[in-house]
Amino acid sequence: MQHSLNNIKPRYEYVSSAKLPTLFGLFNIHGFFDTTENQEHVVLTHGQWDANDIVPIRIHSECLTGDSLFSTKCDCGFQLEKALQNIADHGFGAILYLRQEGRGIGLLNKIKAYHLQDQGFDTVEANEHLGFDADLRDYNICKTMLDTLDIVNVELMTNNPKKLRALEDLGINVVTRRAIDHGVTKDNKGYLKVKTNKLGHTFNLDKLK
């Protein structure tokens, strides 16, 4: 039996959009669905842009503890707030918020990793001790998100070169990268050092002295 290619369901689907007033101004929230992983993701956008504009974006992986529970163990919540403020100040931009807790290992495994960190493991060692790679995140859905929102040229707010390479591999024109150093605390200095020394993040270690 022959099957039409037109009947093949795409892996990533746009679902719906709505207004989302925030402390940083009026944003819109756009829902996307990964049909393979059965996972929901969102994009927050602010303002309008033309096809040739360079749009500031951040790819932000979900961090319940940092984004919502105000943990100072990481810099995730600080970076999310900084990115939202940067976009509000610029007048337009987007946050691609991916549901990839704990660099892709999930919330409960992340708590297990935290327990190992309490015993002296660093963040990479803890993930590997649990049987995971140091970073399992997948950025392929970003292409669908950006295409749906008519974003062609981006300024990527990140300290992680892996995100930049991932977008370039997807054919997205990353015009420039903008560092987003923010939120050093007494609790996350070791975490930031590990991200820099083991995961290649471009963080200024002088700030951790």
- According to the annotation, is 142 in a ligand binding site? no
| Cα-based angle 95, 97, 99 (whole degrees, multiple of 5) | 175
User: Residue 43: what are its φ and ψ, rounded to 5°?
Assistant: -125, 135
CB-based burial label for 199 (10 Å; 0-12, 13-18, 19+): middle
Say which of 137, 169, 177, 181 is annotated catalytic: 137
Q: What are the structure tokens assigned to 74, written together?
A: 């990481």
| Cα-based angle 175, 179, 180 (whole degrees, multiple of 5) | 125
Say which of 34, 135, 150, 177 is annotated catalytic: 135
- According to the annotation, is 79 in a ligand binding site? yes
d(CA 66, CA 79): 10
- According to the annotation, is 61 in a ligand binding site? yes
Alpha-helical regions (H) of 99-160 = 101-104, 107-118, 123-129, 141-148
- According to the annotation, is 177 in a ligand binding site? no
135 given a catalytic annotation: yes
- According to the annotation, is 60 in a ligand binding site? yes
Report the candidate in 133, 160, 142 with the shortest Cα–Cα distance to residue 75.
Answer: 160
Residue positions forming the annotated binding site for Zn(2+) = 63, 74, 76
As annotated, the active-site residues are 135, 137
Residue positions forming the annotated binding site = 58-63, 74, 76, 79, 101-103, 123, 158, 163
